[in-house]
């Protein structure tokens, strides 16, 4: 575990534990930020005096609701829906929806808390929130997905609006689900309010590059970090965990920059292919057939090895991009990465590396890019989608990608400069947390006690 907290922060953390009992992922996310804030409040006692940290740790609003729907067999199903509107000091609440059986309040609160800081780092006018449901989309027909999304929106719509709260996708929520959600919002409100959801289809208000943005953005960020330390993706062996939206487009950008992605995964197993993952086939299996990574391995034949034992992190690599889910790299996995010669880890997913694993990596000198900075390209491009919707315009792929690349470079510079300013060069965790916190805290001070 990390070192003791600053004496001003310790009681704040104790109170977070007491008020949010059992929400372990939320505790972990808060602790990671508080670990970075000791130096900040030493320089800026005004934040502690105005109790800004306590306020930042308490969501502005938490909504929990029943989502009843009827499956194809005619059976009534009941799920639980969530939307945590965490902080709107910088703009409307903004953050994705996750549909996964592991979802409960603690997961949504950890994601919403992270989102507040991530969104600040983009430099764009967006607050932070997150939502979702314990609904499991796996194995459900299109019509079941549609009925679920409609029922979910029947409650959620009253809390949304382009100036209020703007959801997007996350695990289990892609273009298909955003379409059904937007359709139901449009029907209930009788308004074509494009800016109320992002991740829309290109023909009906979506932005070029949104689908690719989180994966591409992560790779841009890690590329900056590698170059800042005399390395690059060119010629490197890379592991990308997961095979969903973030993973697929991270793989695409790594290949464009001259690296080779030699392994990826899903929750059933992982595939290793030393000559490089065949991205076209992976997209066909995952995006079109909605199949498993084992099917990809079967179609590739002897060039690919599929494994369900051990861990993807046991495969030696130069760069690791965890892009599946939270806490997927533990201390033991981190030791494998160090032993295998890994020189950089960039978080495509939210909080995929446990605190113990971060310590193993950074103690060994592995460069580390925290998710709230490295994977901010998705929400940044969502904010660009909102800009296009507001001006009833649509930009080209090249222009939008150029904006994304500039944003990722500026996030990297901001984190690196803040780390330097606090006397911890290269510590991008501290750089990201301190820089984002100061921006949100200053806005909260300016807006008064609200």
- Name the site residues for ligand NDP (rule: CB under 6 A): 169-172, 214, 241-247, 265-268, 323-325, 328, 348-350, 375, 378
In this structure, the number of other CB atoms found within 10 A of the CB of residue 406 comes to 12
Cβ-proximal residue to ligand NDP, closest one? 244
Residue 448, H or E segment: none
The residue among 222, 290, 292, 291 whose CA lies nearest residue 251 is 222
Beta carbon nearer to ligand NDP, 41 or 344: 344
Q: According to DSSP H, which parts of 157-191 are helical?
A: 175-189
Residue 130 is a catalytic residue: yes
Q: Which residue has the tokens 């997150």?
A: 130
Beta carbon nearer to ligand NDP, 184 or 245: 245
> Closest separation between CB of residue 174 and ligand NDP, Å?
6
Report the DSSP beta bridge partners of residue 305: 272
> Closest separation between CB of residue 242 and ligand NDP, Å?
3
> Closest separation between CB of residue 402 and ligand NDP, Å?
19
Selected catalytic residue, list 109, 130, 200, 253? 130
> Closest separation between CB of residue 348 and ligand NDP, Å?
6
In this structure, the number of other CB atoms found within 10 A of the CB of residue 246 comes to 31
Beta carbon nearer to ligand NDP, 314 or 325: 325
Beta carbon nearer to ligand NDP, 6 or 381: 381
Beta carbon nearer to ligand NDP, 13 or 336: 336
> Closest separation between CB of residue 367 and ligand NDP, Å?
20
Beta carbon nearer to ligand NDP, 123 or 426: 123
Q: Which residues have C-beta within 8 Å of that of residue 262, sequence separation ≥ 6?
A: 237, 238, 239, 272, 273, 274, 276, 277, 315, 317
The residue among 384, 382, 362, 342 whose CA lies nearest residue 430 is 362
Q: Is the dihedral angle over the CA atoms 291, 296, 301, 307 positive or is it negative?
A: negative
> Closest separation between CB of residue 71 and ligand NDP, Å?
20
Compute the CA torsion angle 292, 249, 410, 384 (nearest 10 deg).
Answer: -100
> Closest separation between CB of residue 295 and ligand NDP, Å?
12
Distance CA 389, CA 88 (A): 20
Distance CA 365, CA 374 (A): 18
The residue among 209, 231, 146, 265 whose CA lies nearest residue 381 is 209
Going by their DSSP bridges, the two strands 319-321 and 344-346 should be labelled as parallel
Long-range contacts of 158-162 (CB under 8 A, 24+ apart): 159/61, 159/63, 159/83, 159/85, 160/185, 160/196, 160/197, 161/92, 161/193, 161/196, 162/92, 162/193, 162/194, 162/195, 162/196, 162/386, 162/389, 162/390
Which residues are known to be catalytic? 130
């Amino acid at each position: 575990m990390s070192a003791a907290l600053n004496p001003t922060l310790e009681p704040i953390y104790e109170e977070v534990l007491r008020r949010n009992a059992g929400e372990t992922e939320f505790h972990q996310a808060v602790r990671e930020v508080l670990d970075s804030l000791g130096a900040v409040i030493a320089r800026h006692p005004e934040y502690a005096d105005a109790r800004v940290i306590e306020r930042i740790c308490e969501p502005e609003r938490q909504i929990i609701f029943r989502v009843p729907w009827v499956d194809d067999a005619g059976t009534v199903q009941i799920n639980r829906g969530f939307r945590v509107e965490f902080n709107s000091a910088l703009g409307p609440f903004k953050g994705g929806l996750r549909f996964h059986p592991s979802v409960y309040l603690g997961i949504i609160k950890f994601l919403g808390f992270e989102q507040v800081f991530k969104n600040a780092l983009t430099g764009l006018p967006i607050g932070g929130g997150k939502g979702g449901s314990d609904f499991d989309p796996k194995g459900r027909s299109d019509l079941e997905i549609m009925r679920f999304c409609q029922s979910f929106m029947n409650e959620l719509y009253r809390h949304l609006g382009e100036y209020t709260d703007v959801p997007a996708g996350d695990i289990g929520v892609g273009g298909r689900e955003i379409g059904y959600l937007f359709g139901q919002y449009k029907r209930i409100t009788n308004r074509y309010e494009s800016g109320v959801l992002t991740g829309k289809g290109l023909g009906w208000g979506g932005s070029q590059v949104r689908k690719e943005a989180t994966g591409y953005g992560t790779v841009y960020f890690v590329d900056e970090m590698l170059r800042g330390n005399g390395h690059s993706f060119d010629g490197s062996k890379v592991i990308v965990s997961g095979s969903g939206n973030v993973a697929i487009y991270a793989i695409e950008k790594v290949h464009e920059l001259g690296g080779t992605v030699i392994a990826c995964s899903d929750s059933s197993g992982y595939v290793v292919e030393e000559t490089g993952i065949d991205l076209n086939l992976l997209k066909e299996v995952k995006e079109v057939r909605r199949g498993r990574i084992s099917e990809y391995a079967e179609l590739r034949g002897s060039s690919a090895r599929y494994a369900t034992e051990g861990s993807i992190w046991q495969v030696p690599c130069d760069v690791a991009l965890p892009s599946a889910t939270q806490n997927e790299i533990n201390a033991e996995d981190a030791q494998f990465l160090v032993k295998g010669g890994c020189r950089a880890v960039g978080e495509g997913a939210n909080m995929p590396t446990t605190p113990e694993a971060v310590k193993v990596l950074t103690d060994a000198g592995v460069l580390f890019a925290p998710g709230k900075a490295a994977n901010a390209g998705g929400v940044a491009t969502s904010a660009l989608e909102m800009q296009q919707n507001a001006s009833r315009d649509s930009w080209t792929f090249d222009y939008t990608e150029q904006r994304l690349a500039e944003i990722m470079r500026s996030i990297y510079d901001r984190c690196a400069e803040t780390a330097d300013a606090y006397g911890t060069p290269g510590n991008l965790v501290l750089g990201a947390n301190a820089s984002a916190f100061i921006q949100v805290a200053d806005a909260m001070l300016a807006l008064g006690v609200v």
